Structure 1
Amino acid sequence: MSVNPEHVRMVEALLFAAKEPLDEVSLAARLPDDAEVPEILKYLVKAYEHKGVNLIQLAGKWTFLTAPDLAWLLQDEKETERKLSRAALETLSIIAYHQPITRAEIEEIRGVGLSRGVMDILFDAGWIRPRGRRRTPGRPVTYGTTEEFLIHFGLDDVRDLPGFDEMKASGLLNMEPSGLFDDIPGVEAATELDPEEEED
């Protein structure tokens, strides 16, 4: 692939220095007019494919991440994982797989009422947002996941969420409810019951 080496260096510098993933428009705005950003990114993906860091696309944006097989080296450097109650994990999963979805539909799927605190936790994390109103009586608000959700869980698109067969094969799904969300990357389920669940 023929790309301008100096343009490649510029993109590398921008991506390494960025505090968050960058989209192609943001990269192009900082580069010379003749820079072929899509081609440069393809070149860098291949160049870093077997390095200690990989160039990854998340939520339509680009960032360097530690190679998955080397993540264990940085375990001591990781921030404390966000602790989520089982109710919050279940709610987040339902929203991710069924969005746009209303509060009543979430409650119907979970089989229990949804406390305001659970939604507040997910809003505070920046992982869910209102998606508009359903065109049904009462015009209920619908909810969906955010770009921050995709980036945190290493996804480029919600369509990249694992399917039932994939989750079952990886051991994420079993017949024991307590094992349903144990290994979701980036979050840790709190061992104590959520107040909402104690009441229910």
Structure 2
Amino acid sequence: MNAPPDDLVRAVEATLFAATEPLTAAAISAHLGGAVVEPALAALAEHYAGRGIELVVRGERWHFQTAPDLAHLLRRDREEVRRLSRAATEVLAIVAYHEPVSRAEIESIRGVQTARGTLDVLLEAGWVRAVGRREVPGRPVIYATTPAFLSHFGLQSRRDLPGIDELRAAGLLDPVDVALLAALETGPDGTATGNTQENALD
């Protein structure tokens, strides 16, 4: 933005700066009396591109974040996040590619029982949340990923999740990753889903 920003752009910038959590365009608009804020958001995103902080959208929610290449400068005083266990990683992958999904469906895909603490870790991390109950006998709780999951992994939406070919090309799959392959290629009923990413996101 070469010219001074107009009042709406400044108001949107101030709203996002003061927000305690990412905001949708609709929420920003409501805060600003119903103003059309999409052009202002686009202008701000362009203005902050390449700077020390950037304006990004994750799961249709906007927020400022540290530029990825500078994030290491701010990690000195942060508590080191414990790495997820193999089981938690598998469960997270299943939820991401098949959401909404119940515990029984997760266990069907993994082929093993899921310890209660495994889901608790993902819930406490804020990457998975309960989104309702399946309308079947017993009405089991169903789980889905959160905007925090998208933000942590740098995804704008679940459509940005990599497919199996991309994971293989990146060397992230090996012959023993049976559970992860099952999560990507098999539905909760045990049937093949073909292109998992398209099926899961349609």
For Structure 1 versus Structure 2, the TM-score category normalised by the shorter chain is 0.7 to 0.9
Q: Following the alignment from structure 2 to structure 1, what is the Cα–Cα distance between the partners of residues 104 and 33?
A: 51
Is 1:110 equivalent to 2:110 in the alignment?
yes
Tell me, what secondary structure is at the counterpart of 1:144?
strand
Write out aligned runs for 1:40-119 (5 A). 40-119=40-119
Tell me, what secondary structure is at the counterpart of 1:76?
coil
Cα distance change of structure 1 residues 129 and 32 upon mapping to structure 2, 3 Å threshold: closer
Tell me, what secondary structure is at the counterpart of 1:47?
helix
Write out aligned runs for 1:1-200 (5 A). 5-31=6-32, 35-136=35-136, 138-175=138-175, 177=177
Could you tell me which runs of 5 or more consecutive residues in structure 1 were left unpaired when the two chains were aligned. 181-200
Q: Following the alignment from structure 1 to structure 2, what is the Cα–Cα distance between the partners of residues 19 and 77?
A: 21
Of 77-86 and 62-71, deviating more is: 77-86
Q: Following the alignment from structure 1 to structure 2, what is the Cα–Cα distance between the partners of residues 80 and 19?
A: 23
Q: Following the alignment from structure 1 to structure 2, what is the Cα–Cα distance between the partners of residues 60 and 30?
A: 17
Deviations 1:82-106 (A, max 9, x none): 4422211111111111122232221
Of 73-82 and 130-139, deviating more is: 130-139
CA RMSD of aligned residues (A): 2.8
Which amino acid in 1 is paired with 2:16? L
Contact 1:3 / 1:40 at 8 angstroms: preserved in 2?
no
Number of residues of Structure 1 aligned to a counterpart in Structure 2: 178
Who is 2:189 aligned against? Answer: none
Tell me by how many angstroms 1:53 deviates: 1.7
Q: Following the alignment from structure 1 to structure 2, what is the Cα–Cα distance between the partners of residues 171 and 63?
A: 32
Q: Following the alignment from structure 1 to structure 2, what is the Cα–Cα distance between the partners of residues 19 and 138?
A: 37
Of 127-136 and 94-103, deviating more is: 127-136
> Percent identity at matched positions?
52
Q: Following the alignment from structure 1 to structure 2, what is the Cα–Cα distance between the partners of residues 21 and 129?
A: 17
Which amino acid in 2 is paired with 1:6? D
Who is 1:193 aligned against? Answer: none
Q: Following the alignment from structure 2 to structure 1, what is the Cα–Cα distance between the partners of residues 106 and 172?
A: 21
Cα distance change of structure 1 residues 29 and 100 upon mapping to structure 2, 3 Å threshold: closer
Which amino acid in 1 is paired with 2:20? K
Tell me by how many angstroms 1:77 deviates: 4.3
Q: Following the alignment from structure 2 to structure 1, what is the Cα–Cα distance between the partners of residues 79 and 71?
A: 13
Q: Following the alignment from structure 2 to structure 1, what is the Cα–Cα distance between the partners of residues 6 and 61?
A: 22
Q: TM-score, normalised by structure 2?
A: 0.73
Contact 1:95 / 1:145 at 8 angstroms: preserved in 2?
yes
